[in-house]
Amino acid sequence: MHPLTLRFPGELEDEFAEEYSARTLTQVRGALVLGLVLYTVFGILDTWIAPAQRPTLWLIRYAIVGPLLALVIGLTYHPSFKRYREPVVSAVVLVAGLGIIAMTAIIPAPGNYLYYAGLLLVIVYAFTLVRLSLPFSMGISAVTIVAYLAVALSMSETPPELIVNNMFFLGSTVVIGFSANYSMSRYARTVFLQRRLIEAHTAQLQEKNEELLAKNQMLAESRAATIRTARRSELIFSALSETLPGTVLDEKYRLAEKIGSGNFGTVYRGEHIFLHHPVAVKIFRPAIGHLALEGIDRFRLEGISACRINHPNAVTVLDFDVSAGSLAYLVMELLNGRSLAEELRAEGRMSPTRCADVAACVCDALAEAHGAGIVHRDIKPSNVFLHHNHSEQLVKVIDFGIAKLTDTSAESDLQVSTVAGMFIGTPAYMAPERFVGDQYDGRADVYSVGVMMYEMLSGHVPFEVGNAGRWALAKKHIVEEPASLTAMNADVDPEMEAIVFDALGKTPGRRPTAQQLGARLHDYLMKAPSQPSPS
Ligand SMILES: Nc1ncnc2c1ncn2[C@@H]1O[C@H](COP(=O)(O)OP(=O)(O)OP(=O)(O)O)[C@@H](O)[C@H]1O
Ligand SMILES: [Mg+2]
C-alpha cells in the first residue's frame, strides 16, 4: 500500500476498487440524496437573506444543481455507473460547490457572507460522504478554493480580512477532510487485505482438510488390513502354540506343557536338556507387518539386558534368543504357585497387611529395576507371581521390559494398542501420562502398583468403563478421583488409603518413587500387628 495515495500495487488495486465500489454503492447513493435534500432545503433561506436575487439563486438550486444531483442518483442504478463513478460524482459535487460560489457573487455583501459556510460543507462532503478517493476529493477542494479566491478578489465588496479568514477556514476544512478520508480509506483497504488473507487461509485449510481426510481414509483401510493380518497371525500362533510341546529350541530347551497365554505370547514348562534343570519358556507372539522385522531386531539388540533384574523379588531370567529366524523366546526360572491375579480371583479382596506385604515386595523389585533404567510398563496382578519355595512364599515380578521390547512405536500406548491391538497390557492399570503419549518413567509403574493395591483392597480396579472403550477409561484415569477405600472395606485404615491414593497421583510429580512407596509400606508393616508374611 502506498503510504500517501494508499494505492495497492498492480491488479490488487483494480480488485479493491471493484469490491469497494460494490460495497459502498448504497452509501454513495444515500449521500447524493442527502446532498440533494440539503441543497434544495437551504433554498428557503434565500427568501429571507436575498429576496431580490431569489429567482437567480433558485435557478441555480432548482434548475441546475438539483436536477443534476437527481440525474446522478438515477445513474447510480445503471450497471456501468461503477466504472465512471469517481469522475461523475466529482463533477456533480464540483458543480454544487461552484453553484455556491456563484451565489456568493450574486448576493451583495454582507448577505453573501452567510453562504461561505456552504463551501465548507461541500469540501467535507467531498472528502467523506461520497467516498471519493484522495486525488478526486483533493481536486474538488482545490478547484473550489481557487474559484472562491478568484470570485472574492474580483468582487470589490469582499474585504481582504474576510478573504484571509475564509481561506483559513477552507484550509482547515481541507486538512480535517483529508485526514478523515485518509483514515477511512486506510481502514477499508486494511479490512480488504485481511479478508483476502482469511480467504487464502481458509482455502489452504480446506485443501489440508481434504488431504487429511484422504490420509485418514488410507489409514483406516491400512488399519483394517492390519487387524485382518493380526487376526490371521493370531490363529496361526494359537495353532502353533498347541504343537510346540515336545519341540526342542536351539538344541537347548525342550518344551513341555503349556502353562498359560497372555498378550505377548505363551508360557511353557520346559527343561534345559543338558543341565536337566526345569525352566519356564515364554514364546513371543510374532509381530505383524513391518513391525515384525523391527521387533526381531529390537529383541536381538536389547534382549536379555532389557528383561533381567537382579533382585529376589524379580523372576530370574536365564536366557533370551530368537529361534528359527523369527521365534523370540525368553527362558526363566520355573515358578511354583499362582499369580496374584489368580489369587484375587480365588480369594476376593485382601487384608491391608497382606496387600502391603505383596506391594512392598513389588516396589523393592521395581526400585532395583528403575535404578538400572528399566521401567516395567505392565505392572498388573497377572505379572506378580506368588511363588512357593519350600515352605516360604516369595513375591516375584515377571515380564520386566517385555512391554518395551514389543512396542515398536513412538506413539502413545493407547494409539499403539488401538492400532495393533496387542502391544500393551491392560489399560486399567495404566498411568494417565501414558494415555496421552507423554514421556514417562518409573513413576508410571508406581501408579500401576497403586491400581493393583486398590484392587487388592476393594476387589476391583479404581476405574472401570465396561464396554465404553479405551478413551472413556483414559478420561477417567486422567481426571477422575477414585472412590474412597475406607468406605468400601472397613479393614482399610486411613493411612493405607493415603498410601494407595498417593501412588494414584494424577501426575508423576505427585507420586512417590518405587523406593519411597516401598519404604512407606515397610513402615506400615512394622506398625501393623504381626502376620505371616511373604518376602
Ligand atoms: N516363570 C514362570 N513360571 C511359572 N509360570 C509362569 C512364569 N511366567 C509366567 N507364568 C505364568 O504363565 C501364564 C502366562 O503368562 P503371560 O505373561 O504370558 O500372561 P499374562 O501375564 O496374563 O499376560 P501378559 O502377556 O500381559 O503379561 C500366567 O499364568 C503366568 O502366571
Ligand atoms: Mg505376564
Which three three-digit cell numbers place residue 343? 489369587
Provide the pLDDT for residue 298.
62
Q: Which of 285, 320, 379, 382, when mutated, tests ligand 1's pocket best, judged by the most ligand atoms within 8 Å of its CB?
A: 382
Provide the pLDDT for residue 1.
78
Q: Which ligand neighbours the alpha carbon of 340 most closely? A: 1
Atom 31 of ligand 1, residue of closest alpha carbon:
339
- Structure confidence at residue 409 as a pLDDT band (50, 70, 90): very low
Whether the predicted pLDDT of 421 surpasses 50: no
Provide the pLDDT for residue 167.
95
Which three three-digit cell numbers place residue 37? 435534500
Quote the CA–CA distance of 123 and 179 in Å, as a whole number.
13
Provide the pLDDT for residue 204.
95
pLDDT digits (tens, 9 = 90+) for 429-450: 999 999 888 888 999 999 999 9
Q: Which of 395, 402, 530 is nearest to 449 (CA)?
A: 395
Percent of the chain with pLDDT over 70: 90
Provide the pLDDT for residue 475.
93
- Least confident among 85-94, 306-315, 398-407, 410-419: 410-419
Atom 9 of ligand 1, residue of closest alpha carbon:
267
Provide the pLDDT for residue 289.
52
Q: Which of 222, 189, 200 is nearest to 3 (CA)?
A: 189
The per-residue pLDDT of the chain, averaged, comes to 89
Sheet strands (E) in 51-145:
none
Most confident of 296-305, 393-402, 503-512: 503-512
The more confidently predicted of residues 334 and 18 is 334
- 349 CA → ligand 2 middle, Å: 21
Provide the pLDDT for residue 483.
96
- Structure confidence at residue 400 as a pLDDT band (50, 70, 90): confident
Per-residue pLDDT, averaged over 454-478, amounts to 91
Atom 22 of ligand 1, residue of closest alpha carbon:
262
Residue 263 CA, closest ligand 1 atom number = 25
DSSP letter for 462, please: S
- Least confident among 63-67, 148-152, 232-236, 470-474: 232-236
Q: Which ligand neighbours the alpha carbon of 264 most closely? A: 1
Residue 264 CA, closest ligand 1 atom number = 25
The pocket of ion ligand 2, defined by CB under 5 A, consists of 262, 383, 399
Residue 332 CA, closest ligand 1 atom number = 1
Q: What are phi and psi of 128, to 5 degrees?
A: -115, -70
Whether the predicted pLDDT of 405 surpasses 90: no
Per-residue pLDDT, averaged over 91-109, amounts to 95
- 399 CA → ligand 2 middle, Å: 5
Provide the pLDDT for residue 533.
52
The CATH architecture one would assign to domain 337-527 is: Orthogonal Bundle (1.10)
- 110 CA → ligand 2 middle, Å: 110
Provide the pLDDT for residue 504.
98
The more confidently predicted of residues 459 and 531 is 459
Provide the pLDDT for residue 287.
64
- Structure confidence at residue 477 as a pLDDT band (50, 70, 90): very high
Which three three-digit cell numbers place residue 345? 480371583
pLDDT digits (tens, 9 = 90+) for 247-283: 899 899 999 999 998 877 899 999 999 999 999 999 8
Atom 28 of ligand 1, residue of closest alpha carbon:
260
Q: Which residue's C-alpha cell is 451565489?
A: 103
Atom 23 of ligand 1, residue of closest alpha carbon:
262
**Domain assignments of the chain as residue spans, ordered by start:** 11-203, 248-333, 337-527
Ligand 1 pocket residues where CB is under 6 Å: 259-265, 267, 280, 282, 315, 332, 334-335, 339, 378, 382-383, 385, 398-399, 425
pLDDT digits (tens, 9 = 90+) for 174-185: 999 999 999 999
Q: What is the CATH number of domain 248-333?
A: 3.30.200.20
Whether the predicted pLDDT of 196 surpasses 80: yes
Per-residue pLDDT, averaged over 26-43, amounts to 96
pLDDT digits (tens, 9 = 90+) for 293-327: 566 666 666 667 667 889 999 999 999 888 866 67
- Structure confidence at residue 420 as a pLDDT band (50, 70, 90): very low
- Whole-angstrom CA distances from 520 to 41, 379, 504, 524, 525 are 95, 19, 15, 6, 9
pLDDT digits (tens, 9 = 90+) for 197-209: 999 999 999 999 9
Quote the CA–CA distance of 217 and 236 in Å, as a whole number.
29
Atom 12 of ligand 1, residue of closest alpha carbon:
260
Element (H, E) at 388: strand 384-389
Number of continuous H segments (helices) and E segments (strands) in the chain? 19, 9
Provide the pLDDT for residue 410.
41
Per-residue pLDDT, averaged over 502-528, amounts to 96
- 393 CA → ligand 1 middle, Å: 18
Whether the predicted pLDDT of 416 surpasses 80: no
Whether the predicted pLDDT of 51 surpasses 80: yes
Whether the predicted pLDDT of 414 surpasses 50: no
Q: Which ligand neighbours the alpha carbon of 279 most closely? A: 1
pTM: 0.59
Q: Which of 347, 348, 407, 357 is nearest to 377 (CA)?
A: 407
- Least confident among 243-252, 288-297, 379-388, 415-424: 415-424
The more confidently predicted of residues 302 and 167 is 167
Q: Which of 449, 312, 309 is nearest to 378 (CA)?
A: 449
Per-residue pLDDT, averaged over 149-161, amounts to 86
Q: Which ligand neighbours the alpha carbon of 428 most closely? A: 1
Query: Where do the H-state alpha helices sit in 155-252?
Result: 160-243
Rg (C-alpha) for the chain, rounded Å, is 45
Quote the CA–CA distance of 433 and 429 in Å, as a whole number.
12
- 263 CA → ligand 1 middle, Å: 9
Percent of the chain with pLDDT over 90: 67
Most confident of 24-38, 101-115, 288-302: 24-38
Provide the pLDDT for residue 124.
95
Q: What are phi and psi of 269, to 5 degrees?
A: -75, 145
Q: Return the amino acid letter for 261.
A: S
Q: Which residue's C-alpha cell is 496374584?
A: 340
- 410 CA → ligand 1 middle, Å: 26
**Residues assigned a catalytic role:** 378
Whether the predicted pLDDT of 156 surpasses 90: no
Quote the CA–CA distance of 512 and 153 in Å, as a whole number.
97
Q: Which of 281, 398, 422, when mutated, tests ligand 1's pocket best, judged by the most ligand atoms within 8 Å of its CB?
A: 398
Quote the CA–CA distance of 451 and 462 in Å, as a whole number.
7
Whether the predicted pLDDT of 423 surpasses 50: no
Provide the pLDDT for residue 284.
84
Residue 259 CA, closest ligand 1 atom number = 12
Quote the CA–CA distance of 106 and 59 in Å, as a whole number.
12
Q: Are 170 and 118 in contact (CB under 8 A)?
A: no
Per-residue pLDDT, averaged over 238-245, amounts to 82
Q: Are 452 and 381 in contact (CB under 8 A)?
A: yes
- 508 CA → ligand 1 middle, Å: 28
Judge whether 248-333 and 337-527 match in fold: no
Which three three-digit cell numbers place residue 133? 478517493
Per-residue pLDDT, averaged over 215-242, amounts to 85
Sheet of strand 337-339: strand arrangement: 337-339, 384-389, 392-397
The more confidently predicted of residues 403 and 46 is 46
Contacts (Cβ under 8 Å, ≥6 apart) of 144 = 94, 97, 98, 101, 119, 122, 123, 170
